[in-house]
Structure 1
Amino acid sequence: MSASNDQSQHPLDALQGFLQARRKDSPTINSLVVALSGGPDSLALLLAAAQLAPQLGYDLRALHVHHGLHADADRWAEQAVQQAAAVNVCCQVLHVRVAQQASVEAAARQARYDALAQAMAPHEALLLAHHQDDQAETLLLRLMRGAGLQGLSGMAEVSAWSSGAIVEIARWRPWLALPRQTIARWLPRAVACCHSHAPHLPLTALQPVQDPANQDARFDRTLLRGQVLPLLTSRWPEAAALLARSAAQVAQQAQALNSLADIWLTTQPSQDTLAVEALLALDAASLQAVLSRWLCLHGVRPLPVAYWPRVHAELLLARHDANPVLHWATQSLRRFHGQIYLIRDADLIKLPEGIRWLNPQQELSWAGRRWLPVSLAVHHPLWQSQWRIAPRQGGERWRPAGRLHHVLLKHWCQEQAIPPWQRQAIACIWADEILVCVVLPNGQVWPSHALVA
């Protein structure tokens, strides 16, 4: 984020300077998408972008997220569409369902950005109207949640949002250095200018939405905005600017720490896993820096603060033959054969119930894939058996090709160094009670002695 604190800068000048800089460092982005809540800040950003985007060669559109959390949500969506239409900008309304959890604010934010990411293209950037006061509130919120260095960096002018493993959007915040009052003073003049150029517009066309949640002290951010920051400002008039400046300095220190972590990671033989022995050689602070950076580079949500002691106790100091799991959000850290793996829930395969293979000489569709006909001699006795495909249940015994004796499938998986989370996705092909074939999640086929004898 920028450390600039020029409170006298005009919102149009700030946006123009920001977009000119992005033209140089993000040349593949040629379209802007305003995240339009309909409130005063996002309306101001819409009006500024509508004026500057054509001059700078950007296409422009708006997205409004309909959370359905308030009785007036439909009216707000209509107002956002009307605001955009007043400046000849198309506005799409995205309907989302907010997960029921302890923090409605956090759940709504997650749903909002996920929906925005799904609605955007790689050549587009999301314009957000966050300003200096928002940055100060964010820093205070994260302090109250016990955030570390990365969290206390605050919001960045240029960042990305990942939704799942594939979709990632650019998030641009051109007004982080501007106080709320600067934007609020400019908005009426911008609205008046629009009406002077289009006198046919209804007076309500550019009226901002007023969300009553912004006055409800039950919400953490509202409490900070309405009570805490005004109290701080009464004692320290530059409180918001000072907090934003601190966030900028922390961000610089966090970047330096990330650079050091990157250097350490490049010395490791694999970027996909981390060696337990190498991690144990780090002190607690370095371990947290390295692991946080590794998770960030893999595009997953940070590890909760309360989990860090568990990383050391449950993952790094576990018995060498243990396979511990540390799960949060939609992913987990897992230890196997001296390595730490990052596994996303979406990558865990769950096979359906088994199915009879009435004629194994013909192709079968099961579990989303094609199962090719079994190759056996015409008069092989196994043809007289009843065939089926089923997921591994545990306790299976079989005789792998080339072995003299039967073994537990579990022990064979251990010998082959197949991680536990992949074993649950092993498919077994049976002929009556004979396990004739084992198929791994990657499609690799291991025949039994009965199939090759």
Structure 2
Amino acid sequence: MSAPDEFLERIAAVLASAGVSAGTRICCALSGGVDSVVLFEVLRRLQPRVGYGLSAAHVHHGLSPNADAWAAACTGRGARAGVPVQVFRVEIERNHPDGIEAAARAARHAALDTVACDWLAFGHHQDDQAETLLFRLLRGGGVRGAAAMRVLSPPVRGRPGRLRPLLALRRAEIEDWARRQGLDWVEDESNAALHHTRNALRHRLLPVAETLFPAAVPTLARAAAHFAEADDLLGELAALDARACGGLPLSRQAFLALGGGRQANLLRWLLQRAGAQAPSSRRLAEALRQLGALPAARALDVSLGAWALRAYRDRVWLEPSAEPVVEALVWDDEPALPWAGGYVRFEAACGEGLSAARLAAAKLRALAPRTSGMSLRLSPQRPRRELRKLCQEAGIPAWLRARLPVLWVDGEPAWVGGIGIEAAFAAAPGEPGVLPRWSVGEPGAGGEEPAAWPAA
């Protein structure tokens, strides 16, 4: 019996630590270069032992005259191995503010995020980790940036998790194994172009560092691991602070009682959980300054890029800057309907909510936006009042009112999210009822969600 391949066993251990087992779906990000080819081959060889599903994906950037040949090499490799390979052709933003490298990376990850899998596996190695750490430090990155890449990054909000089984290996080890196995791969000519920042770090800065510190690469990788530990601790602190601020939305008073560093850390953590990019330190500091200077009675809406920091009365929250699309939806007794980036769920109740009999007798029931001048009577003992005034009393700022879900029953408003139920449609004591609830996130998903107005 031949001795086990130590190289393969090291990768198998990483897969085991990620909980990869029979039924797990892994997609290998296959560029055609030596790192991804080795990863593909290792995953192919380990598949029968572990039993996971294996596929591959290649992103065709169109930046090189050899791009078609690289795509063909990847699909050919997959065909010979009996592994399906999906090719994505992407358009690169030539005027990206962070350069063509960042634009290609953004387009690549956006494409790969659409793959139906549990884990996206990348061929990043220890030398890549050292380059990433230097790159982010020289750009003024914080603790999270200095943590660089992680071996395991769990799935976030529907996006596949990231798996980097080769991250503890040096580039030379990977190339040596590839040669011993007789593998062939493609060479990207842009890897030698020194006008690309990452290439300059690889070919100029790191070799100098290694002449002064022979263990520079593993030492830098170890430093990234220390930063990752610190980032995890900051995440735990942010979770504690979020609970101390009452969950989401945050209590404005409690949030402002935190120190400035903890405020910024909490907002960065919430954006990270939402899958959003952290704003610059300058922009975040300005948003926090405005929040602290503004009287509590005044509403705040400060852009942080694709997301915004918003506050009203004693509530503080984050949400996407772009207004969500709200369209009329007929309700045919579905348990939930999508609305404004979240869901309206309809729960069975008794003696509360909407009268189930009244709803069953209706000819048309639909979720739709409010109409101008509409009014509601929340109790038989109270007069009908304009929705605008009810929103003011409920603490719903003006910019959120256009997205409030309204359940229209035969042309009459029966319920408004965040406001309540029209008395004429209310279930009587002991009567079967239907209780609508508007929430952010997937239907039935509970827990804290760093996003829009958490209306009742």
Q: TM-score, normalised by structure 2?
A: 0.72
Q: Which of 82, 94, 104 is equivalent to 2:76?
A: 82
Amino acid across the alignment from 2:97: A
Q: Name which one, 1 or 2, has greater alpha-carbon Rg.
A: 1
Tell me which residue corresponds to 1:167: 158
Q: Does 1:183 align with 2:159?
A: no
Tell me which residue corresponds to 2:315: 339
Change (3 A) 1:29 1:236: farther
Between 1:130-139 and 1:103-112, the stretch displaced more is: 103-112
Partner Cα separation in structure 2 for residue 255 and residue 420 of structure 1: 37
Change (3 A) 1:329 1:37: farther
Tell me which residue corresponds to 2:217: 240
- Partner deviation per Cα, 1:204-228 (whole Å, 9 max, x = no partner): xx3x222222122222211111211
Q: Does 1:279 align with 2:262?
A: no
Q: Which of 102, 124, 131 is equivalent to 2:97?
A: 102
Tell me which residue corresponds to 1:415: 393
Q: Does 1:13 align with 2:9?
A: yes
Tell me which residue corresponds to 1:231: 208
Partner Cα separation in structure 2 for residue 285 and residue 413 of structure 1: 33
Amino acid across the alignment from 1:185: D
How far apart are 1:406 and its partner, in Å?
Answer: 9.3
- Partner deviation per Cα, 1:309-367 (whole Å, 9 max, x = no partner): 11321223323233222324432221112211121256623679xxxxxxxxxxxxxx9
Q: Does 1:111 align with 2:146?
A: no
How far apart are 1:62 and its partner, in Å?
Answer: 0.9
Partner Cα separation in structure 2 for residue 406 and residue 246 of structure 1: 61
Q: Which of 229, 240, 255 is equivalent to 2:232?
A: 255
Q: Which of 225, 231, 241 is equivalent to 1:264?
A: 241
Matched-pair identity in %: 30
Amino acid across the alignment from 1:184: E
Q: Which of 20, 37, 47 is equivalent to 1:43?
A: 37
Structure 1's unaligned 5+ residue stretches are 1-8, 193-205, 353-366, 369-388, 429-435, 448-453
Between 1:139-148 and 1:64-73, the stretch displaced more is: 64-73
Contact 2:21-2:51 within 8 A present in 1 as well:
no
Change (3 A) 1:109 1:259: same
Tell me which residue corresponds to 2:122: 128
Q: TM-score, normalised by structure 1?
A: 0.72
Between 1:312-321 and 1:142-151, the stretch displaced more is: 312-321
SS of equivalent residue, structure 2 residue 54: strand
Q: Which of 34, 38, 54 is equivalent to 2:28?
A: 34
Tell me which residue corresponds to 2:137: 143
Change (3 A) 1:161 1:437: closer
Partner Cα separation in structure 1 for residue 414 and residue 53 of structure 2: 54
How far apart are 1:69 and its partner, in Å?
Answer: 2.9
Q: Does 1:68 align with 2:46?
A: no
Partner Cα separation in structure 1 for residue 384 and residue 50 of structure 2: 74
Partner Cα separation in structure 2 for residue 218 and residue 10 of structure 1: 38
Partner Cα separation in structure 1 for residue 375 and residue 32 of structure 2: 67
Amino acid across the alignment from 2:255: L
Amino acid across the alignment from 2:314: G
Q: Does 1:52 align with 2:28?
A: no
